[in-house]
Amino acid sequence: MEVQLQELIEQIKKDGVAVAETEAKDIVDAAKADAEKIIAEAQAQADKIMAEAKAETEKMTKSSEDAIRQAGRNLLISFRESVTRELKTIISENVNTIYSSDELAELIINIIECWANNPDAEDITVIMNSQDINRFEDNILASLKEKMLNGITLKANDNFDGGFRIAVNNGSAYYDYSAEAVVDMLSNYLSPKVTELLKEAKE
């Protein structure tokens, strides 16, 4: 009887240890699975944060590069416009200098000679402002008479400051040599050349 009791106790102990070991193993396995899940989630979160940080960095880098490029373009445009304005000022000063000198009369006479030799041009009228008419009328008319260029009319018009205009065939065609028109023409001619020079300088 005592032997059976002892065997029963031993069996109970053995079964209890087995159950405890099983439960302990289950707990360890669950803890290990939870730890692996936590690590995987943490790794996924870290990867997401790194990807977002990389994308944001690339976005900021591109934005900075675009801003630098735009600033460079703006600077070049501003510089080109400044050079163009300065060029127009220089041209204007030179044209006004010539138009305010006695060379204007000679220039007008030379142009009239060219028009007079054109068989399609009739009734040539030279239009100048009143001040230039008063300054150059005697000189121009004397020269035209000397060169036997008849049928030329001088006419005053104060709608422009300096220079002159040529009207032919009873005013059916006008050719503008006013100071403003000549400055614009020369500026438009030279501006593309200045732009090309700036491009070459940039390279």
Domain presence at residue 194: yes
Domain presence at residue 187: yes
pLDDT of residue 148: 60
**What's the rounded mean pLDDT across residues 5-33?**
64
Domain presence at residue 5: no
pLDDT of residue 11: 61
The band of 8, judged by pLDDT with boundaries at 50, 70 and 90, is low
**Each residue's pLDDT tens digit, 116-163:** 777 776 778 888 888 888 878 777 777 777 666 667 788 888 887 788
Domain presence at residue 117: yes
Domain presence at residue 73: no
In this predicted structure, the answer to whether residue 3 has a pLDDT above a threshold of 60 is: no
Percent of the chain with pLDDT over 70: 76
Domain presence at residue 167: yes
Q: What is the mean pLDDT of the chain?
A: 76
Contacts by residues 129-133 (CB-CB < 8 Å, ≥ 24 positions apart): 129/156, 129/157, 129/158, 129/160, 129/161, 129/162, 130/156, 130/158, 132/104, 132/162, 132/164
Query: How many domains does the chain contain in total?
Result: 1
Domain presence at residue 11: no
CATH of the domain at 148: 3.30.2320.30
| Domain extent at residue 113 | 102-202
